[in-house]
Structure 1
Amino acid sequence: MAKTYYAAINWNEIEDIIDKSTWEKLTEQFWLDTRIPLSNDLDDWRSLSDAEKEMVSHVLGGLTLLDTVQSESGMAQLKDAVRTPHEEAVLNNIAFMESVHAKSYSSIFSTLNTKAEIEKIFEWVDTNPYLQKKAEIINEVYKNGSDLQKKVASVYLETFLFYSGFYTPLHYLGNNKLPNVAEIIKLIIRDESVHGTYIGYKFQLGFNELPETEQESLKEWLYNLLFELYENEEKYTAELYDHIGWTEEVNTFLRYNANKALMNLGQDPLFPDTADDVNPIVMNGISTGTSNHDFFSQVGNGYLLGTVEAMQDSDYLIGLD
């Protein structure tokens, strides 16, 4: 019999059913930014103050950088330690959608901003010390961390670090402004919820196989990393929001999502903040239901998709009862 040189992936033999269910969920959720009528938000954009416009632009610029890190570095590193061939296929899907996310912010910029303004946004992204620091922290783990540490960094990025930026469009949505920009953010949140939960699940599989002493060492490391990221994120949030007056409520939202990231990893929450402490306008906006868009003039996040519900706390314990 000839020796197998390269094994073909067989989706009829599934080693881990979570791979299959995640693939199906992600492909059902597929979307592109070109289907969202961003130009319909121009009147709302013109009504914002210059300070608000700058804040929104910087927020979206920061999100662009994080999605770029995840698509270009994160998924490539995670694929070095897959448990099944189907997991690699799922990570390929995630990498592509992170690129879609990064492109989507540029679609927003091209609609709302001038060429000169866009250049200034990306100059700010390239030079902001707190934004660059969190990208560096995460990327250093991707380059030098263990396989499980890389998964921790990915979950922190997906379920925690994005949310200082997600807060802004959700807040405006709750006040009936920039609904199409928020529609893109809700689509991205829906993707990130699945990404963070799936990668957290894969972390838990590996974590549960470690000896107890190695588990304790890894737990100490992951909590220390969260502290380091949160300390930097407070400074980043202050720079973005102090002049708008939103800093404290954004920090509450961050702590709530830091706890969600820990839940994804099968760890105990760190902060006392719960959903009840978060601005209810933002919590209402984070629901990932479909907008009621006109079929001819606008397309919401339910176009050609199955029904996808918002993430529940129990979803962060996927497959590990």
Structure 2
Amino acid sequence: MTETYKAINWNQIEDMVDKLTWEKLVEQFWTDTRIPLSNDLSDWQKLSFEEKDMIAKVFGGLTLLDTLQSQDGIEALKKSIRTQHEEAVYNNIEFMESMHAKSYSAIFSTLNTKSEIDQIFEWTHSNEMLQKKAQIINAIYQEGSDLQKKVASVFLESFLFYSGFFAPLHYLGNSKMTNVAEIIKLILRDESVHGTYIGYKFQIGYNQLSEAEQEELKNWTYDLLFKLYENEMEYTEYLYGAIGWTDRVGVFLRYNANKALQNLGFDPLFPDTSEDVDPIIMNGISTGTSNHDFFSQVGNGYLLGMVETMEDEDYVKWY
């Protein structure tokens, strides 16, 4: 007998978090083409060679990680869906990760020459530290258990991106490169929801394990974070050492590593809190709407309903 194909019914929700997340992501929809990046050219031209080189590599690295998430990460998560609505949410996340990757190319095409862009992408293919973190995460996507894949995804969404996010947030806090930072703030909104949602799905599965299985997975999770953190600090020194930002970025990384653990329902590993993060960076994260008129005077990030950027309440336990 032929198996009946089941239509998705949004009037019969098995997990209300699926519906709420879908609605939040739809409210947050944006495109890079509606942000006037060329308005940042005067700021860009005033930056030093070292700063320009750092920014190019920062966005090159972010492009690679978003490509990994859109091409391999979300597809790996779909294999363990609990509801049809969950797959719909993953489809939305997958598309927006592609939008994130494309948005960095929009930045490159505005700020860089063709030869510079070619050099940036060649660098992403050859940098050992960048490739190492992509390879660690992708190996889990290809070979890990369903819950291990979710851990890897949350660490990518809620931790590994943030070494790259630091630079545009720094410039935003100093009223420079504000349109480039606008894109980063939109991406931050997305990643906050992605990390929280995938962490929630992890917690459902984790809570169904035996105590021994939970302990084993928790230990594996912290070991993975240590491995990623060591590489990430080397990468941070490589990116920011020449301009003296390594220590500031390190605090920001540890703060977000704790947030990633919180998304998974685990205790923080590092002592760093929001109070320790450079206030310029925290101010950049929390800055409200600006003056862009995209559709109907909605402002920064399209002023998307109740969604706020990277507030602590985004990092909640959904159970």
TM-score range, shorter chain: over 0.9
- Superposition map of 1:148-227 within 5 A: 148-227=147-226
Structure 2 distance, partners of 1:145, 1:159, is 19
Aligned to 1:117: 116
Correspondence 1:128 to 2:127:
yes
Residue correspondences, number: 319
Structure 2 unaligned regions, length at least 5: none
- Over 3 Å counting, the alpha-carbon distance change for 1:114 and 1:97 in structure 2 is same
Aligned to 2:27: 28
Amino acid at match of 2:92: N
Aligned to 1:289: 288
CA contact (8 A) 2:185 2:301 kept: no
Amino acid at match of 1:109: F
Comparing 207-216 and 2-11, the one that deviates more: 2-11
Amino acid at match of 1:63: L
Amino acid at match of 1:162: F
Structure 2 distance, partners of 1:243, 1:144, is 37
- Over 3 Å counting, the alpha-carbon distance change for 1:81 and 1:150 in structure 2 is same
Structure 2 distance, partners of 1:302, 1:310, is 9
Question: CA offsets per residue over residues 49-91 of structure 1, 9 Å max, x none?
Answer: 1110000000000000000000000000000000111000000
Structure 2 distance, partners of 1:171, 1:31, is 23
- Superposition map of 1:46-61 within 5 A: 46-61=45-60
Aligned to 1:103: 102
Aligned to 1:91: 90
- Superposition map of 1:57-76 within 5 A: 57-76=56-75
Structure 2 distance, partners of 1:47, 1:175, is 14
CA contact (8 A) 2:74 2:94 kept: yes
CA contact (8 A) 1:292 1:300 kept: yes
Structure 2 distance, partners of 1:128, 1:65, is 11
- Over 3 Å counting, the alpha-carbon distance change for 1:316 and 1:193 in structure 2 is same
CA shift, 1:291, in A, is 1.8
CA contact (8 A) 2:263 2:315 kept: yes
Structure 1 distance, partners of 2:97, 2:222, is 26
Question: CA offsets per residue over residues 18-42 of structure 1, 9 Å max, x none?
Answer: 0000000000000000000000000
Structure 2 distance, partners of 1:159, 1:183, is 19
CA shift, 1:6, in A, is 1.0
Aligned to 2:229: 230
Amino acid at match of 1:206: G
Amino acid at match of 1:285: G
- Over 3 Å counting, the alpha-carbon distance change for 1:111 and 1:202 in structure 2 is same
CA shift, 1:316, in A, is 2.4
Structure 2 distance, partners of 1:247, 1:140, is 28
Amino acid at match of 1:150: K
CA shift, 1:309, in A, is 1.6
CA shift, 1:318, in A, is 3.5
SS in 2 for 1:276: coil
CA contact (8 A) 1:160 1:258 kept: yes
Structure 1 distance, partners of 2:294, 2:312, is 33
Comparing 51-60 and 4-13, the one that deviates more: 4-13
SS in 1 for 2:200: helix
Q: Percent identity?
A: 72
Structure 2 distance, partners of 1:180, 1:52, is 17
CA shift, 1:314, in A, is 3.9
Structure 1 unaligned regions, length at least 5: none
- Over 3 Å counting, the alpha-carbon distance change for 1:270 and 1:105 in structure 2 is same
CA shift, 1:3, in A, is 5.9
- Over 3 Å counting, the alpha-carbon distance change for 1:207 and 1:318 in structure 2 is same
Structure 2 distance, partners of 1:295, 1:315, is 25
- Over 3 Å counting, the alpha-carbon distance change for 1:145 and 1:104 in structure 2 is same
SS in 2 for 1:272: coil
CA contact (8 A) 1:263 1:269 kept: yes
CA contact (8 A) 1:288 1:309 kept: no
Question: CA offsets per residue over residues 189-210 of structure 1, 9 Å max, x none?
Answer: 0000000000000000000000
SS in 1 for 2:74: helix
CA shift, 1:308, in A, is 1.9
CA contact (8 A) 2:30 2:301 kept: no
